[in-house]
Amino acid sequence: WQKREISNFDYLMYLNTLAGRSYNDYMQYPVFPWVLADYHSETLNLTNPHTFRDLSKPMGAQTVERKRKFIQRYNEVEKSEGDLSAQCHYCTHYSSAIIVASYLVRMEPFTQTFCSLQGGSFDVADRMFHSVKSTWESASRDNMSDVRELIPEFFYLPEFLTNANHFEFGCMQDGTVLGDVQLPPWADGDPHKFILLHRQALESDYVSAHLHRWIDLIFGYKQHGSAAVEAVNTYHPYFYGDKMDLNNIKDPLIKSTILGFISNFGQIPKQV
């Protein structure tokens, strides 16, 4: 990878596999980074550093104000291992079954998966994945319970962005009928162009030079411990599957609560 003999995409897939992530498990689906911060320009400038997301920081620390709020949350909660109010920056996760299914909801079998996870129906239209720009704004700035990252399909599969099956997702509060995913202006409304430019961004010189910082957060030494605290990158203890010894938990109610928590909210990849 350092010799540029394999692509950033291939390297990330390799790390995901090494960390136990798989297309066969929605709860441990491969996780990829947001690489761009520009979803409003008419043209995408991949030579401008400001075009890109800060890969050295998790999604919860992309703005100064957001980072301050999560640090405040961490400091306000006294440490209490095994409790739902345990000390952490984030009580939600960057990758979970519902996040994966929501991204891919326009394609089967993910449509049925999403509905089953939602209790048999689609979500309220305003909460459905409908716009790349608004999803970025939610995950990087606006929503304190949203720190989601991306999935590999954002870099190779244009079909997941179109409602080719004509599912009826309903209308948003402003009257917009949900259909195809709204793309940034620089994609010219073309899913193939979006995927092409997004993949170019992933393989760009800027991302190649900074990707290791994101890898440290997700797969490396900033995953937990003091380095994670310093990086504003700690999650609820239940998310660290390999750190939870369920065999030692005798109370079946507590055990089922933990398992339900993990299946609903996601798991940290194995540290590589």
Residues in the chain, how many? 272
- Chunked mean pLDDT (size 10), the chain, 272 residues: 95 97 94 98 97 98 97 80 71 93 95 90 88 97 96 98 94 91 97 98 97 98 94 90 68 76 80 91
Structure tokens at 53: 């997301």
Residue 4: partners with Cβ closer than 8 Å, 6 or more residues away = 208
Q: What is the pTM of this model?
A: 0.92
pLDDT tens digits for 86-135?
A: 789 998 999 999 999 999 999 999 999 999 988 888 888 888 999 999 99
For tokens 């700690």, the residue is 234
Paired tokens of 78: 């006294």
Q: Which residues contact 256 (CB under 8 A, 6 or more apart)?
A: none
- To the question of domain 8-265 being in CATH 1.10.1060.10, the answer is no
Q: What angle do CA 267, 270, 272 make, to 5 degrees?
A: 145
Distances, alpha carbon 196 to alpha carbons 94, 129, 155, 156, 158, in Å: 24, 20, 8, 8, 9
Distance CA 172, CA 51 (A): 29
Residue spans of the domains in the chain: they are 8-265
Q: 259-271, pLDDT tens digit by residue?
A: 777 767 778 999 9
Q: How many CB atoms lie within 10 A of CB 104?
A: 22
Question: CA-based angle 65:68:70, to the nearest 5?
Answer: 115
R_g of the chain, CA atoms, integer Å = 19
Max CA pair span of the chain: 58
The structure tokens listed for 136 are 């970025």
